[in-house]
Amino acid sequence: MSTIERTLVLLKPDAVKRGLMGEIVTRFEKAGYKIVGVKLKQADAQKAGEHYGEDIATRRGEKVRALLMDFISTSPVLAMVIEGVEAIENVRMMIGATEPKSALPGTIRGDYAHVSYKHADAKEKVVENLIHASADANDAAREIPLWFGEDELCNYTTVYEIHTQ
């Protein structure tokens, strides 16, 4: 069983609009993760609906799903496929808690966001939390093909891999 995994990461419209793309990508690279796919993509209503599937409505409600779909369509997102050792779990740890005000310092959300669920609910908007990453292997398997064709993903060896082989 391989410990090398791929996960989808989306830098959401708030990260793009705030000019945080380079800073966030650098964090993953410095941690030794390999970016095997990357593109700036404007999500239309269909793409937003595919990404935020019906299970979101079941878990969080149709209103939340609609808000998420609207938000992800407000500007381009930077879509990435990141590969590395146990990438799914480790990338999510680097990102921090979904609610930014609860994210620890040193995580992406903890360092760059501070919005709370309470604030977002009062404003009737989504929690702008900068980034999405696949929750588990099943989500990664579903999400990566939504955003990338197989021909858009690259295989190469990084300096980290050369030195650890």
Residue pair 11/76 in contact (Cβ under 8 Å)? The answer is no
For the chain, give the number of residues. Answer: 165
Tell me if residue 132 is catalytic: yes
Catalytic annotation, pick one of 51, 119, 132, 163: 132
Query: What DSSP string runs through 104-153?
Result: PTTSHHHHH----HHHHHHHTS----SEEE-SSHHHHHHHHHHH--GGG-
∠ at Cα 133 (145, 35), nearest 5°? 70
Place of tokens 């941690």: 31
Distances (CA, A) of 16 to 25, 54, 79, 165: 12, 26, 11, 36
Q: Which residues are catalytic?
A: 132
